Structure 1
Amino acid sequence: MSTTGVVEAGGQEEKRVTWAELYFDLVFVFAITQVSGLLHHDHGPLGLVQALVVFVPVYWCWVGTTVQANIRDVDNLRDRLGILFVALAGLFMALAVPGAWGGRGLLLGLAYWLARVVLLLLLIRIPGVWRGPYGAGVLVSGPLLVLGGLLPDGPRLALWATAALCDLSVPVVFRRRLAVVAYHPTHMPERFALFLLVALGESIVGIGGTAAGARLDAAELAAVAAAFTISAGLWWQYFVYAADAMRHAVEVADSRRDVIRRVFQYGHLALVAGVIGVAVGFGETVADPWRVLEPGAVALLYGGCALYLTTFGYTRWMMFRTVATTRVVAAALVLALAPAMVRLPALVVLVTLAVLLVALNVVEHLKVERAAAAAVSAEESYETAERAVGGPV
């Protein structure tokens, strides 16, 4: 793939994802696996908070590189090397994640700071780049992560949470300044879709990695099939019903900056977090289908799925000011059923969620079919009226 040579129907050159970006993503495959492992180790309330606080800088490092690649032509020696340096820093971060709340906290902080410094240097020729998200990463959130890595758990959590909030808030704080940035409308949706696909890949790992060491009797194979149906159902919701709408929203938006910030930078953080929760839930259920589940495992599966579906309600409202009724209702139903799943066998819990997601996708499919039929009918009626009056209506 190259950033050059493809022209869209409207005459604008289409920016494509480069091979360097795709190689860069491989590091974050490993990083998401490491975050999932951290959550698997402790999925109580504190463990959830700690995993989220660690995930935000990992995610924001990826976002910073993606934005940099969107607003520049990175298919050149300097930028390829820069992306590889950020990938190396990301690999250091991933290696630090399992011990982030122990002896590797400083490594995580230094690796993140290094990534932000490299990204700033790649964009240093842009006037005023210091006064924006890239400068904030170097001057504020990076040092906070380094300092937190030197402190014990309590103060570390406070400083790292502050750093995460800083990273998440800077696009809003510098909203007016970012208004002058020329975002490419096709590259950004493709990059964030790929990142979500990486997270969905972790759900497959959660299924296969867990089941590979099991006996694989009928019950275990049924659990694998149910878990795969859940993963495929999540994929279907995004890539069949949402991805094209998100790309269209960026292309037609009066303010691409706002759509990118709200739908992609923030919305996809929630989508990926939901998928990670489901993936870790698979690790708690697939290998032992008759295991009676504790609240934590149910919360990961059903809470992660509900977060994923609810986020589509948020993104659709941000894009089109319409309500994604079926998905919001489905998310509410998933949450309502979660307490009833506690103390039930894992296989029952998986099959119930799989059935719900299949039903949701069937309902969404019927809605799309009806909308398409209505559009065709309206077009035919218009053409009939044109012929009746002998010209355009």
Structure 2
Amino acid sequence: MERDRGRYVPGGRESAHQADYLELFFDLVLVFALNGLVNRIVPALTTDDLNVRWAALFQTVVLALPLLWLWTTTGHITSRFDPRRRLIQLVVLISALGLLIMGTSLPYAFSGRGLAFALPYVLLQAGRPLLFIFTLPVGDAVRALYLRSAIWFAGSAVLWIGGALTTEWRRVVLWTSAVAVDLIGARLNWPVRGLARLPASAWAVERGRHLPERYQQLLLIALGETVLALGISYTNEPATTETTIGLLTAYLTTVLLWRVYYHRSGEMLGEALDSVRGRNNLGRITGAAHIVMVFGIVATAIGYKLVQQHALDRPFPLWVVVILGGPALFLWGRIRLERVVFDRLSRRRVVAIVALAVLMVPLAFTSALVAAIAASVVLFGVAAADARRSAGRPPEAPAPPA
């Protein structure tokens, strides 16, 4: 580590432009956490109580947001600083441990183990900025950014810990408020009265392609979780004709999600961000787009498990919302990514979202398996349209907005 005014500075990114293996280890812990989310909600979605089903869906969103926000803030740390430095490696390892503990508490997060979910999150989100405040030199723009973020996270910590110490419905209210504080604070770049805003952004995309690659890996990790959920579900259920068709449909859907993401925009994200100067706004849009896509992938994985367990059953309306809404959310995030890379609206994906929305009503009178097949057909149409548009043409150069 370099010394500066008696402080240890955790190095820059100039000598490490790609993600290292320790970051991939952190991603594997995220797979465990995402799988816990899927396993937590499926039993609640199969109950006859409408209120329980919708409450479980809302609670899953509240739990997923801090998990993904923890991944995002860790990705920005390893993007700003060299992940080969021992201090940064220690930060990543401790973050992985905290994420692991949060993942183990997911089945009971709104009942008896609220502190096991909230406390690691609070310690990481408030403690890591304090570490960098100590190690970075006074006057550094990133140090000032971490100082403001530490103040905001200290405020949301009251809501997180308070929610963990109270009853279920109060916990939902307090944790929802805490999530809002965390995300709004980052969106506004953590303003604090009396503290100047030096030129550093919460959404900055540093030089090199490290952060774009991390977002691409996040998508692969989420897709890997869907395969994990699918394989476990098929293993635990009787191997019938309908469950086998559900397995093949789910696998095809996963492949199509990968294809739709990487076709042009996904694979050229790093090149697009490298070609513009003011990347903070594009970095914010890119991060939000990937979080939306991950939510869509997680919802799709939930749909896989529902199909494996209730393939020929007439679905509850909420099942259809999840089975078709997952791909729709993914396509919405992918539309935002298209805007970042090519500064255009992907009409094919808009049409696909409309088609998925229209199909929800008639598919509610069929079966869970038919709904899953319909979602796969719509995604296949998008992938086929992409291939037809690019056939025989040279690869497009990225054209992000100025």
Q: TM-score range by the shorter chain?
A: 0.7 to 0.9
Deviation at 1:112, TM superposition (A): 0.5
Q: Is the 8 A contact 1:79 1:122 kept in 2?
A: no
Alpha-carbon displacement from aligned partner over 1:331-358 (angstroms, at most 9, x marks no partner): 1101110111113133322222222211
User: Residues 179, 41 of structure 1: CA spacing in aligned structure 2 closer, same or farther, 3 A cutoff?
Assistant: same
**Residues 373 and 188 of structure 1: is their aligned pair in 2 closer, same or farther, counting only changes over 3 Å?**
closer
Quick one: which amino acid aligns to residue 58 of structure 2? V
Secondary structure of 2:264's counterpart equals coil
**Is it true that 1:79 corresponds to 2:95 in the alignment?**
no
Give aligned-pair identity as a percent: 25
1:150 counterpart (165, 169, 181): 165
Q: Over residues 49-96 of structure 1, what are the superposed CA-to-partner deviations in whole Å (9 max), with x where a residue is unaligned? A: 211111111111111111000000120222212211111111111111
Q: Secondary structure of 2:394's match? A: helix
CA contact (8 A) 1:203 1:275 kept: yes
CA contact (8 A) 1:199 1:276 kept: yes
Any gaps of 5 or more consecutive residues in structure 1?
A: 1-6, 376-393
Higher relative contact order (CA closer than 8 Å, sequence separation 6+): 2
Give the corresponding residue for 2:118: 109
8 Å Cα contact 2:205-2:283 kept in structure 1: no
How far the C-alpha of 1:122 sits from its partner, in A, is 4.1
> 1:148: Cα distance to partner?
0.9
TM-score (norm 1): 0.86
Cα deviations by residue, 1:104-134 (Å, 9 ceiling, x for unpaired): 1122111111212442244223332443334
Amino acid at match of 1:268: H
Stretch moving more, 52-61 or 13-22: 13-22
What secondary structure, in the 3-state scheme, does the structure 1 residue paired with 2:17 have? Answer: coil
* Structure 2 residue 300 is the aligned partner of structure 1 residue 281: no
What is the distance in 2 between the residues matched to 1:283 and 1:244?
Answer: 29
Q: How does 1:1-393 map to 2 (within 5 A)?
A: 15-43=17-45, 44-124=53-133, 125-126=135-136, 127-137=143-153, 139-174=154-189, 177=198, 179=200, 183-264=206-287, 266-369=288-391, 371-372=393-394
Q: Which amino acid aligns with 2:148?
A: G
Amino acid at match of 1:100: A
- Find the residue that maps to 1:372 and give its secondary structure: coil
Query: Deviation at 1:286?
Result: 2.6
**2: distance between equivalents of 1:99 and 1:263?**
32
Shift of residue 182 of structure 1? Answer: 6.5
Q: Distance in 1 between matches of 2:241 and 2:264?
A: 33
Q: How many pairs does the alignment contain?
A: 363
Query: Looking at CA atoms only, which structure, 1 or 2, has the larger radius of gyration?
Result: 1
Task: Identify the range of structure 1 (335-344 vs 238-247) with the bigger mean alpha-carbon deviation.
Answer: 238-247
- Kindly indicate whether the alpha-carbon contact (under 8 Å) linking 1:64 and 1:119 is maintained by their aligned counterparts in 2: no
Q: Deviations over 1:125-164 (max 9, x none)?
A: 3332443334422x12233211111111222122211111
Please report how far the alpha carbon of residue 320 of structure 1 lies from its aligned counterpart in structure 2 after TM superposition. Answer: 4.1
By how many angstroms is 1:204 displaced? 1.1
Q: Measure the CA separation in 2 of the matches of 1:194 and 1:142.
A: 29
- The DSSP-based 3-state class of the residue aligned with 1:289 is coil
Taking the aligned partners of 1:202 and 1:178, their CA distance within structure 2 comes to 37
Shift of 1:369: 2.0
SS at match of 2:336: helix
Question: Secondary structure of the equivalent of 2:391?
Answer: helix
Greater shift in the superposed pair: 328-337 or 32-41: 32-41
Matches of 1:199 and 1:134, distance apart in 2:
29
- Provide the C-alpha distance between the structure 2 equivalents of 1:214 and 1:337, rounded to a whole number of angstroms: 28
Q: Which moved more, 1:285-294 or 1:151-160?
A: 285-294
After superposition, the CA RMSD in angstroms is: 2.3
Match of 2:7 in 1: none
Give the gaps of 5 or more residues in structure 2: 1-12, 46-52, 137-142, 191-196, 398-402
- Structure 1 residues 340, 174: CA separation in 2 closer, same or farther (over 3 Å shift)? same
CA distance in 1, matches of 2:77, 2:41: 30
- CA–CA separation in structure 2 for the residues paired with 1:241 and 1:302: 24
**Structure 2 CA distance for aligned equivalents of residues 347 and 129 of structure 1:** 49
Distance 2:211 2:61 in 1: 23
Do the aligned partners of 1:203 and 1:279 also contact (CA within 8 Å) in 2? yes
Q: Distance in 1 between matches of 2:238 and 2:187?
A: 51
Name the aligned partner's letter for residue 270 of structure 1: V
Secondary structure of 2:366's counterpart equals coil
CA offsets 1:177-226 (integer angstroms, 9 cap, x no match): 46466713411111111112111112112321111133323333222111
For the residue of structure 2 that corresponds to 1:183, the secondary structure is coil
